[in-house]
Amino acid sequence: MRAIILAAGLGLRLQQPPQQQFPKCLLRFNGITLLERHLHALKAAGVTDIVLALGFQPEQIEAELATLGWQPKPEIVLNPRYDLGSVLTVHTVADALTRGGDVLLMDADVLYDEAILRKLVADDSADRLLIDRDFEAGDEPVKLCVKDGVPVELRKQLAVGLQYDTIGESVGFFRFREETALRLAQIVAGYVDSGRANMPHEEAVRDLLLEGGHTFDVADVTGLPWIEIDFPNDVARAADEVLPRLPVTTGAAR
C-alpha cells in the first residue's frame, strides 16, 4: 500500500503575510508538524511507501524531513504550477498512482486521530471513502452523500432534489485499489488535457464515483476528532478542540 500526500498548495486562506507563508503541513501543534504526524500515523498503520506531492516552498518540507531523519525517506514529486488546482498536483504523481497496489490519497492539511487512518486501511484491498455525519452545514465542507450504501455525490454544492439517505463530510482521505487508481489517473489526465487543471481533485474523484464500475465502501468516522485546516479559525480550533482529544502518543515518538 502506498500513501500519496498532497502538500503543494500555498494556503492563501490562512491569510498569512507573504513573508511569513509556509506550507500548511508544517503547522505545528504541541511542537509537532502535521507532516510528522502523518508520517507517524502511516507508519503505525504499516504504510512506509510514501510519496509527497510538493509545490510551494518544497525546501522547507525537505528541511523538516532532514531534521526528522525519517526512514525510509518519502519520495518527493514537485508540481511547479502549484498555483493551479489540486487536479494538476494529482496529475504530477500519476506514476505513483499507477505503479501497482492499493493507494491512499490524502490531504496534508488535516489534524486527525490515528483511528481514522486505521479505518481507511483496515481489511483487504478496497475502494474506500470516509464520512463524518457530524459536520457543520455550509458551502465549505465537501459533502459525501450515500444512498443504500452507495456513494451518490461528492461535492461542496449539492444539486436540488438529490436523493440520499446519509450525508456527511468527506475527510479528504481516499483509498483506491490498483485498477481504480489507474482509472483515476486517466480521469485526471483528461482534466489537464481539456484545460481544467485548475479544478480541485475531488471533482475527478467524484467522476470516478459516478461513472460506475467501481464498488466503494464508506467507513464512518463520526465521533473521531479531526479537522481540515483552511482558515485562521481552523488553526485555533485544531489547537483548542481537536488536539486535546488526540491520543498523547500521536506523533510523539521520535
Render pLDDT for 98-143 as a digit per residue (tens, 0 to 9): 999 999 999 999 999 999 999 999 988 899 999 999 998 888 899 9
- Domains, in order of start, for the chain: 2-126+172-197+227-245 (3.90.550.10)
pLDDT digits (tens, 9 = 90+) for 52-102: 999 999 999 999 999 999 999 999 999 999 999 899 999 999 999 999 999
Check residue 15 and give its pLDDT: 61
- The three state secondary structure string of the chain is CEEEEEECCCCHHHCCCHHHCCCHHHCEECCEEHHHHHHHHHHHCCCCEEEEEECCCHHHHHHHHHHHCCCCCCEEEECCCCCCCHHHHHHHCHHHHHCCCCEEEEECCEEECHHHHHHHHCCCCCEEEEEECCCCCCCCCCEEEEECCEEEEEECCCCCCCCCCEEEEEEEEEEECHHHHHHHHHHHHHHHHCCCCCCCHHHHHHHHHHCCCCCEEEEECCCCCEEECCCHHHHHHHHHHHHHHCCCCCCCCC
| Per-residue pLDDT band at 19 (split at 50, 70, 90) | low
Residues of the chain with pLDDT > 90, as a percent, come to: 87
Average pLDDT, the chain: 94
User: Is residue 43 predicted with pLDDT exceeding 50?
Assistant: yes
Q: What is the pLDDT of residue 156?
A: 95
